[in-house]
Amino acid sequence: MKAENPNSLPIGQSREPIPATPEGLLAAVLASNQHTTDPRLKQILESLLRHLHAFADEVQLSYGELEQGIDFLVQVGKATGPEKHEGILLADILGIATLVGLIDAKKALAAGGTEPALIGPFWRAHQPLRPNGSLIASPKTPGDKLLVNGRVLSLDGAPIANARVETWQASPGGLYENQDPSQEDMNLRARFQTDEDGYFSFRSVRPSGYAVPVDGPCGKLLALQKRDIMRPAHLHFIVLAEGYKTLATQIFDADDPNAYRDVVFGAVGSLLRSFEAQEDGTYVLDLELRLEPGTMRMPLCPLP
Ligand SMILES: [Fe+2]
Give the residue from 188, 209, 201, 203 showing the smallest Cα distance to 255: 209
Contact 237, 247 (CB under 8 A): yes
The pLDDT-based confidence of 300 (bands split at 50, 70, 90) is: confident
| Digit-coded pLDDT (tens) for 205-234 | 999 999 999 999 999 999 999 999 999 999
Residue 121's identity, in one-letter code, is: P
CA distance 194 to 67: 51
For residue 16, name the pLDDT band (cuts at 50, 70, 90).
Answer: confident
Ligand 1 (single-atom ion) residues, CB below 5 Å: 120
Span from the CA of 222 to the centroid of ligand 1 (angstroms): 18
Cα 234 to ligand 1 centroid, rounded to whole Å:
6
Count the alpha carbons within 13 Å of 80 in the hemisphere toward its beta carbon: 16
The DSSP annotation for the chain comes to -PPPPGGGSPTT---SPPPSSHHHHHHHHHHTTTT--SHHHHHHHHHHHHHHHHHHHHHT--HHHHHHHHHHHHHHHHT-BTTB-HHHHHHHHTTHHHHHHHHHTHHHHHTTPPPP----S--BTTPPB--TTEE-S-TT--S-EEEEEEEEEETTS-B-TT-EEEEEE--TTS--GGG-TTSPTTTTEEEEE--TTSEEEEEEE----EEPP-SSHHHHHHHHTT---EE--EEEEEEE-TTB--EEEEEEETTSTTTT--TTS---GGGEE--EEPTTS-EEEEEEEEE-BS----PPPSB-
CA geometry: angle at 57 spanning 24 and 31, to 5°?
30
The closest alpha carbon to 232, from 205, 262, 207, belongs to 262
pLDDT at 7: 58
Instruction: Report pLDDT for 173.
Output: 92
Average pLDDT on 88-113 reads: 94
Cβ-contact 238, 246 below 8 angstroms: yes
Residue 200: strand pairing partners: 150
pLDDT at 4: 54
Q: Output the pLDDT for position 278.
A: 95
What pLDDT shows up at residue 121? 85
Q: Percent of the chain having pLDDT more than 90?
A: 88
168 Cα: distance to centroid of ligand 1 (angstroms):
8
**CA of 90 relative to ligand 1 center, distance in Å:** 14
Closest alpha carbon to 153 in 10, 292, 295, 3 = 292
CA 230 from centre of chain: 16
| Delimiting residues of CATH 2.60.130.10 domain(s) in the chain | 86-291
Matching CATH number, 86-291, of 3.30.870.10, 2.30.30.40, 3.40.50.1970, 2.60.130.10 = 2.60.130.10
Mean predicted confidence (pLDDT) in 32-61? 97
| pTM for this model (two decimals) | 0.87
**What is the mean pLDDT of the segment spanning 85-110?**
94
CA of 181 to the centre of ligand 1 (A): 18
Give the tens place of pLDDT for each residue, 149-198. Answer: 999 999 999 999 999 999 999 999 999 999 899 999 999 999 999 999 99
Q: Helix 96-104 to helix 86-93 angle, to the nearest 10 degrees?
A: 80
For ligand 1, the distance from its centroid to the CA atom of residue 176, given in whole angstroms, is 8
Which residue, 36, 18, 38, is CA-closest to 27? 18
State the Cα–Cα distance between residues 220 and 214, nearest whole angstrom. 7
* pLDDT at 1 (0 to 100): 47
Partners of 169 in beta bridges: 235
Instruction: Say what the pLDDT of residue 187 is.
Output: 97
Q: What is the model's pLDDT at position 165?
A: 98
Q: Specify the higher pLDDT residue, 235 or 14.
A: 235
The model's pLDDT over 254-277, given as tens digits with 9 standing for 90+, comes to 999 999 999 999 999 899 999 999
| Interval between CA 236 and ligand 1 midpoint (Å) | 6
Question: Residue 59 Cα, ligand 1 centroid: separation in angstroms?
Answer: 34
- What's the CA-to-centroid distance between 264 and ligand 1, angstroms? 10
Mean pLDDT of the chain: 93
| C-alpha 17 to ligand 1 mean position (Å) | 52
Give the Å distance between the CA of 277 and the centre of ligand 1: 22
Ligand 1: distance of its center to the CA of 221 in Å?
20
CA of 235 to the centre of ligand 1 (A): 7
Cα-to-centroid distance, 237 and ligand 1 (Å): 10
Do 14 and 6 meet the contact criterion of CB atoms below 8 Å apart?
A: yes
Q: How many angstroms separate the alpha carbon of residue 301 from the centre of ligand 1? A: 14
CB-based burial of residue 221 (10 Å sphere; 0-12 exposed, 13-18 middle, 19+ buried)?
Answer: middle
How far away, in angstroms, is 122 Cα from ligand 1 center?
7
